[in-house]
Amino acid sequence: MKNYSSILLDFTIRFPNWQNYIWPSIIFIGAILLAPFIARQNLIAILAVAGILGVFGIIFFIRHPGIGFPILIVACLLIPFSISTGTQTKINSAFLMMSLLVGAWLVEMFIINRQIKILPEPSIYAALLFVVSTIVSFGFGQLDWYPTKSASLFAQIGQIMIMVLSMAAFITAAHRMEKPIWLKSLVFVFIILGGIYSIAFIFPPLRHYVNRVFQRAVVDSLFWTWLIAISFGQFWLNKSLSSIYRIGCLVISLSAIFTLLVTKQSWASGWLPAMAAVFVIIFLTKPKIGLIALFSFAIILLVRNQIIQGYVFVGDNEYSMVTRLEAWKIVFQIFGKNPLFGVGPANYYFYTPFYNIMGYSVSFNSHNNYVDLLAQVGIVGTLIFFWWAFETARLGFSLRKENLDPFENAFVYSALGGLAGTLVAAFLGDWLLPFIYNIGMEGFRSSVLAWVFLGSLIFIKYQHKKQEFVI
C-alpha cells in the first residue's frame, strides 16, 4: 500500500498545476454551501461572504489603489447591494467600497510597510483631529444627560462610522489616487453616469426606467451639486477637451440645472447649492461676468419679487422654514448641556421630546449639518470641521497659482465651486454628514462624492512630490 508521500507525488505528476486550483475550488465549494443561507438572508452567511470578498478586495486594492475610485462612483450610483444591520439602516455598496479602499491603505501602511506616512497638509491634520473629537464626544455621550435612554449603541456606532469614514474618504483620496489617469477616470465616469441620469430625467417617459437603475444618491443634494460643478467646470475651463466633449459637458450641466430650476424648483437644497457652485466657478475665473450675473439676479429679484415666492416660499418650504427654526432653538438648548463636546453622536434625537415644538413633544432632527455638529460633537468638533473647510478652500486657492494642465486646472475650480455648494447644502440639510435618524447611511452614497473630490485636491498638489510626514 502506497504511503501518503507517494500518493501526493503521483498526483503531482498527473496534475502538475493542481496548486493553482486550490483557492478557486475552496471559493466554489464555499459558495455552494453558503448559497442557501444567503438566499434566506441569513446575516451570518452574508457577513461570511462579505468577509471573504473583503479580504480579496483589500489585496486587490493594495496592488491597484487608484482604480478603486472610479469603481466607487459605480457603487454609489448603480449597485443596489446592501447588508442589513438589524436596524432601520443598511450598510450599502458605497459604504462597503469606501471601507475597502480605506482598509487596503491601512493594511499596507500598518502591516506591510509598518510605517505611518501622512502627507503634511493642514486639512488632513484637521480631518484626523475631527475623528479624535468624534470619539471623545462618543465617550461623553455615554453620560446620562436626560432621564431617558439615549440612542442605541448600534445607532451611535453607525453615526460614528459615517463621520469617521467621511473624513477617511477625504484622506484616502489624497494618498491613494496614485496616478492622474485615475482622477480623470473618477471625474469622467461620474460625468457620464450622472449625465445619463440627468438627461434621461428631463423626459418623463424615461424617468421610471432610470430611477429603477440608479440608486438613492441621485435624489440627494450633493449628487446634483457636484455633477453641475464638475461638468460645468470641464466645459468652462478644460481647453484640452475636443469641442464635442466640451459641448457634452455643457449639455449635462444644463440638463441638471434645468431639472433643478424647473422640475424641482421647490427643492431649495437642490438648486441653491448648485447655483452657488456655478457662481463661484464663474466669479473666480471671470470676475466681471460673475459680478454682472450677481447684479442682474439681484435686480430681477427686486423687480419681480414673485420669483422668491416661486422658488423659496413654495410648496411646504415656508412651513419647513418655520419648523426648522423652532427645531434649532430646541437643539441649541440640548447643546447647552455640554457645549464643549456635545451629547454624543446620534443622541440628541432622543432628547428632543423633553421640549415642546409647535405643540408636540416628538423626536426630530435639525435638518442642518452645523446644528447637528454642535449637538453631537460640541464647539470643539464644530470648530475643527470649520478648520478643515478653511484649509481645504485655502489649498484650492493656492492650486490656482500652480502650473497645472487644463484638466487639473478645471478640476481645481470645480472643486472650489463644489466646496461652496457643499457648505450651502450642509446648511439646508444633513447632506454632507448624514444623520443616522434622517438621511442615514444611504445618504453616504452622495456625500462621499464631496469628500473624495475634495481629497483629490491634495493628490493634485503632491502627485509630483515625495513629501510625507513619517511616524
374 and 251 co-located in one domain:
yes
Q: What pLDDT digit, counting tens, does each position of 381-406 carry?
A: 999 999 999 999 999 999 999 999 99
Dihedral of CA atoms 115, 121, 122, 127 in degrees, nearest 10, equals -60
Q: Which residues pair with 84 in a beta bridge?
A: 90
Q: What pLDDT digit, counting tens, does each position of 224-268 carry?
A: 999 999 999 999 999 999 999 999 999 999 999 999 988 888 788
Whether 139 is in a domain gets the answer yes
**The residue to which cell 482622477 is assigned:** 183
190 and 87 co-located in one domain:
no
Prediction pTM value: 0.88
Task: Evaluate whether 147 touches 425 at the Cβ level (below 8 Å).
Answer: no
Cα 35 from Cα 31, distance rounded (Å): 6
Q: Which of 91, 112, 133 finishes a domain?
A: 112
302 and 413 co-located in one domain:
yes
Cα 327 from Cα 355, distance rounded (Å): 10
121 and 50 co-located in one domain:
no
Cα 320 from Cα 316, distance rounded (Å): 6
386 and 414 co-located in one domain:
yes
Q: What pLDDT digit, counting tens, does each position of 93-117 carry?
A: 999 999 999 999 999 999 999 998 8
Whether 162 is in a domain gets the answer yes
331 and 445 co-located in one domain:
yes
Cα 243 from Cα 167, distance rounded (Å): 37
Instruction: Please give the residue range of the domain that contains residue 279.
Output: 117-470
Structurally, the chain folds into a number of domains equal to 2
142 and 78 co-located in one domain:
no
Whether 50 is in a domain gets the answer yes
pLDDT higher than 90, residue 291:
no
103 and 220 co-located in one domain:
no
Q: Which of 60, 84, 112 finishes a domain?
A: 112
Whether 5 is in a domain gets the answer no
25 and 150 co-located in one domain:
no
Q: Which of 112, 140, 175 finishes a domain?
A: 112
